């Protein structure tokens, strides 16, 4: 009798153990389905514990593995917060928080120095930013139809030029009326906003100003950088508003397509070669990634030899590859897959890295006086509004042309990423690069040439 009872207890204990084990499995499976960005909750908690441990041990390295963990954890954390806040999530809150909150917490020393050092060293030494841009630009271009590419690239200059002229006129009028002065408004607010960012805009402008106007470069740089930063922030927020408008008025947007004549998927190759190639193939994916990197390296070489901007050369080469059918369909599919991977997995980690290492909070808040704010916002709004209505007149999608114009008000390549992320249209990166790089270069060159003649 006692032995039978003992066996029953054993069977019962085994049954209870299996039940607990099954419940644990179910709980863990459910927890793995809860995600912060793309990170499953158990992995997210593990990353948190690891980062805290390495920071405590002062052993947080700046290698690629650590950088993936740190930027991924913080980037998706801030993005998730931005997506969860009721009002902010509607105007690109994920991109705004992932970029500008890290900048603020660095400035106010609310994040450990080890994390700042690790992130900054990796971002500066790895050229992480341009890996992202090359993947998005090359993949987006090779994923377009050839006819759309030619038509859209030609037409996109019209809203860009019209927006630049109108924004300059409005900005000068508003700034002068608010007592900032014509010269100050032109040289330190309007031109910097449209100069193409820090590296390609603020630095050459400050060098030119210092030589022509006999002032120190540091003084000139300090005067132009706040307008660039706040102009970029304004463009990010307004691009988020444009995204909301596109959802409410679907007839105004191509959801990443620029020209109304474009139809079908973003990747027309899929249907054309369905019988021959799969859309996603690891070998093609890897080949597409190597192609994107190779084109950027050719761009770097052209910059070293001839001073031509590397991203612009890369963009032109990608356009040539597409126009002259120099890559087979499977390679174009692979490059497009690479761009989709980067837009999904890398955007918010990169924005966090940009916020920590490339976005000085003190320069941003330096623009926070009422006259500057009104003038800067008037420039950006005019640029976007003219892009919208000109695009509509050209039978293009007005939301897309307005967003591309907004990139002309951004913080260079970093601004393009933040603006397009807020607008949820990273596939517009090739057009954004035209707006930022070419538009910015023309703005800086003409400004310095005219200043030489008339100052």
Closest CA to 93 of 432, 429, 423: 423
**Residues 128-174: tens digit of each pLDDT:** 888 888 888 888 888 877 877 777 778 888 999 999 999 999 999 99
**Residue 13: what pLDDT?**
62
pLDDT band at 81 (very low <50, low <70, confident <90, very high): very high
**Residues 288-302: tens digit of each pLDDT:** 999 999 999 998 998
Does pLDDT of 85 surpass 80?
yes
pLDDT band at 415 (very low <50, low <70, confident <90, very high): confident
Closest CA to 178 of 390, 375, 353: 375
Average pLDDT over the chain reads 84
**Residue 405: what pLDDT?**
92
Q: How far apart are CA 410 and CA 194, in angstroms?
A: 7
Q: How far apart are CA 442 and CA 152, in angstroms?
A: 20
Residue 216 corresponds to which tokens in the numbers above?
A: 């120190």
> Which of 216-220, 340-344, 450-454 bottoms out in mean pLDDT, i.e. has the lowest?
216-220
| Mean pLDDT, residues 65-90 | 90
Q: How far apart are CA 350 and CA 99, in angstroms?
A: 9
| Mean pLDDT, residues 365-370 | 81
Would you say 174 and 375 are in contact if contact means Cβ atoms under 8 Å apart? yes
**Residues 124-137: tens digit of each pLDDT:** 888 888 888 888 88
pLDDT band at 39 (very low <50, low <70, confident <90, very high): very high
Closest CA to 47 of 31, 23, 65: 65
Exposure letters 372-404 (e unless 16+ CB within 10 A, then b): beebbbbbbbbbbbbbbbbbbebebbbbbbbbb
35 strand-pairing partners: 40
pLDDT band at 216 (very low <50, low <70, confident <90, very high): confident
- Global confidence as pTM: 0.79
**Residue 5: what pLDDT?**
61
**Residues 230-242: tens digit of each pLDDT:** 888 899 999 999 9
Q: How far apart are CA 374 and CA 35, in angstroms?
A: 40
Q: Which phi-psi region, left, alpha or beta, contains residue 307 (left: φ > 0; alpha: ψ -120 to 50)?
A: left
pLDDT band at 276 (very low <50, low <70, confident <90, very high): very low
**Residue 89: what pLDDT?**
76
Domain boundaries, the chain: 12-120, 127-454
pLDDT band at 11 (very low <50, low <70, confident <90, very high): low
Residues of the chain with pLDDT > 90, as a percent, come to 38
Judged on CB neighbours under 10 Å (0-12, 13-18, 19+), 123 is buried
Residues 6+ apart with CB under 8 A from 73: 39, 44, 47, 48, 51
Does pLDDT of 190 surpass 80?
yes
Would you say 269 and 332 are in contact if contact means Cβ atoms under 8 Å apart? yes
Judged on CB neighbours under 10 Å (0-12, 13-18, 19+), 77 is buried
Does pLDDT of 7 surpass 50?
yes
Give backbone dihedrals phi and psi of 30, rounded to 5 degrees, phi first.
Answer: -65, -40
Please give the span between the terminal C-alpha atoms of the chain, in angstroms, as a whole number: 109
Does pLDDT of 277 surpass 50?
no
- Output the DSSP codes for 271-297: HHTTTT--S--HHHHHHHHHHHHHHHH
413 strand-pairing partners: none
Does pLDDT of 325 surpass 70?
yes
Residues 6+ apart with CB under 8 A from 251: none
Q: How far apart are CA 76 and CA 74, in angstroms?
A: 6
pLDDT band at 2 (very low <50, low <70, confident <90, very high): low
| Mean pLDDT, residues 250-258 | 88
Judged on CB neighbours under 10 Å (0-12, 13-18, 19+), 295 is buried
Residue 282 corresponds to which tokens in the numbers above?
A: 């690891």
- Output the DSSP codes for 303-360: HHHH---HHHHHHHHHHHHHHTT-S-HHHHHHHHHHHHHHHHHTHHHHHHHHHHHT--
Q: How far apart are CA 334 and CA 283, in angstroms?
A: 8
Exposure letters 221-241 (e unless 16+ CB within 10 A, then b): bebbbbbbbbbbbbbbbbbbb
What is the SS3 assignment for 154? helix
Helix axes 41-56, 113-126, angle to 10 degrees: 100
**Residue 275: what pLDDT?**
38
More confident residue, 281 or 43: 43
What is the SS3 assignment for 413? helix
Would you say 117 and 297 are in contact if contact means Cβ atoms under 8 Å apart? no
Would you say 195 and 205 are in contact if contact means Cβ atoms under 8 Å apart? yes
Does pLDDT of 43 surpass 90?
yes
């Amino acid at each position: 009798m006692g032995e039978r009872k003992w066996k029953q207890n054993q069977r019962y204990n085994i049954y209870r153990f299996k039940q607990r084990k099954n419940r644990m499995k179910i709980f863990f499976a459910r927890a793995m389905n809860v995600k912060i960005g793309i990170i499953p909750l158990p992995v997210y908690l593990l990353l948190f514990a690891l980062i805290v441990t390495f920071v405590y041990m002062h052993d947080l390295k700046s290698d690629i593995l650590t950088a993936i963990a740190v930027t991924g954890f913080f980037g998706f954390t801030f993005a998730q917060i931005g997506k969860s806040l009721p009002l902010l999530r509607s105007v690109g809150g994920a991109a705004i928080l992932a970029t500008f909150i890290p900048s603020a917490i660095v400035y106010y020393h609310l994040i450990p120095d080890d994390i700042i050092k690790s992130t900054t060293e990796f971002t500066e030494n790895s050229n992480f930013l341009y890996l992202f841009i090359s993947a998005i630009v090359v993949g987006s271009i090779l994923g377009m139809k050839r006819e759309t590419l030619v038509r859209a690239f030609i037409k996109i200059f019209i809203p860009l030029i019209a927006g630049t002229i109108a924004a300059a006129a409005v900005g000068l009028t508003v700034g002068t009326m608010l007592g900032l002065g014509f010269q100050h408004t032109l040289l330190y607010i309007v031109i910097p906003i449209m100069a193409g960012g820090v590296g390609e805009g603020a630095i050459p402008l400050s060098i030119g100003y210092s030589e022509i106007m006999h002032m120190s470069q540091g003084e000139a740089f300090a005067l132009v950088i706040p307008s660039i930063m706040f102009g970029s922030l304004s463009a990010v927020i307004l691009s988020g508003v444009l995204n909301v408008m596109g959802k409410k008025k679907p007839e105004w947007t191509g959801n990443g397509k620029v020209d109304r004549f474009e139809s079908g998927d973003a990747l027309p190759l899929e249907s054309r070669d369905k019988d021959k190639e799969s859309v996603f193939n690891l070998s093609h994916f890897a080949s597409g990634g190597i192609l994107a990197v190779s084109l950027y390296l050719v761009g770097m070489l052209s910059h070293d030899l001839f001073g031509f901007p590397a991203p612009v050369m890369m963009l032109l080469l990608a356009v040539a590859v597409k126009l002259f059918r120099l890559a087979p369909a499977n390679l174009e599919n692979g490059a497009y897959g690479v761009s989709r991977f980067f837009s999904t997995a890398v955007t918010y980690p990169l924005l966090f890295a940009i916020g920590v290492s490339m976005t000085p909070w003190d320069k941003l808040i330096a623009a926070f006086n009422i006259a500057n704010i009104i003038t800067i916002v008037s420039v950006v709004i005019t640029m976007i509004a003219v892009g919208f209505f000109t695009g509509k007149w050209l039978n293009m999608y007005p939301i897309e042309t307005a967003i591309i114009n907004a990139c002309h008000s951004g913080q260079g390549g970093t601004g393009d990423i933040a603006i397009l992320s807020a607008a949820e249209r990273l596939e517009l990166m090739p057009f954004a690069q035209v707006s930022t790089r070419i538009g910015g270069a023309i703005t800086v060159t003409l400004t310095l040439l005219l200043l030489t003649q008339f100052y």
